[in-house]
Amino acid sequence: MVFTSVELEYLRSQRLGRLATLTPDGTLQNSPVSHVVDDATGVISIYGYHLGTTRKFHNIAANGQVAYVVDDIASLEPWTVRGVEIRGTAEALRDIIPPTAQLSPEVIRIHPRRIISWSLGTDGTHGSRRTVT
């Protein structure tokens, strides 16, 4: 299993993350997206409306480098921020059947290489850093 059970639970509970991609000129682009996690493989799938026409899709097709962050504020008092950062490679795939008819037939699939999580436990202490092989 790529993600811990606590990380999977957290990723399933969140609807929005930020996907950072590398543009052909070497600058970074950061886009808000939603995600679906495959529990068994740890692959994160990102679908969208007209996804194949977006800059993030083309950036991934060009170089496949990504970082994806899902985080939120768990508490204001005491201040507690929690989240998961995934660094890895991604594929920009076409002609995929989307999970709902409104979405386009493209998907971005993220394959984690490094996972960093913080403050995910009920006491705010669960966190880890690890390389996925």
Once rounded to an integer, what is the mean pLDDT over residues 32-61? 95
Cβ atoms of 96 and 46 within 8 Å: the answer is no
Q: Is the pLDDT of residue 67 over 70?
A: yes
Can you give the pLDDT at residue 133?
A: 66
Residue 66 host element (H or E): strand 65-76
Structure confidence by residue, pLDDT tens digits, 70-120: 999 988 998 889 999 999 999 999 999 999 999 999 999 999 999 999 999
Structural domains of the chain, count: 1
What dihedral angle (degrees, nearest 10) is formed by the CA atoms of 64, 130, 85, 10?
A: 120
Can you give the pLDDT at residue 120?
A: 92
DSSP state of 12: H
Can you give the pLDDT at residue 124?
A: 58
Structure confidence by residue, pLDDT tens digits, 10-32: 999 999 999 999 999 999 999 99
Distance CA 42, CA 44 (A): 6
**Cβ contacts of residue 17 below 8 Å, gap of 6+?**
32, 33, 34, 35, 68, 69, 70, 71
Can you give the pLDDT at residue 132?
A: 82
Q: What is the pTM of this model?
A: 0.91
Cis amide linkage into residue 78, ω under 30° from 0: yes
Q: Find the domain containing 39 and state its range.
A: 5-131
Can you give the pLDDT at residue 35?
A: 97
Strand duo 36-37 + 128-131: pairing = unpaired
Side-chain-side CA neighbours of residue 75 (13 Å):
10
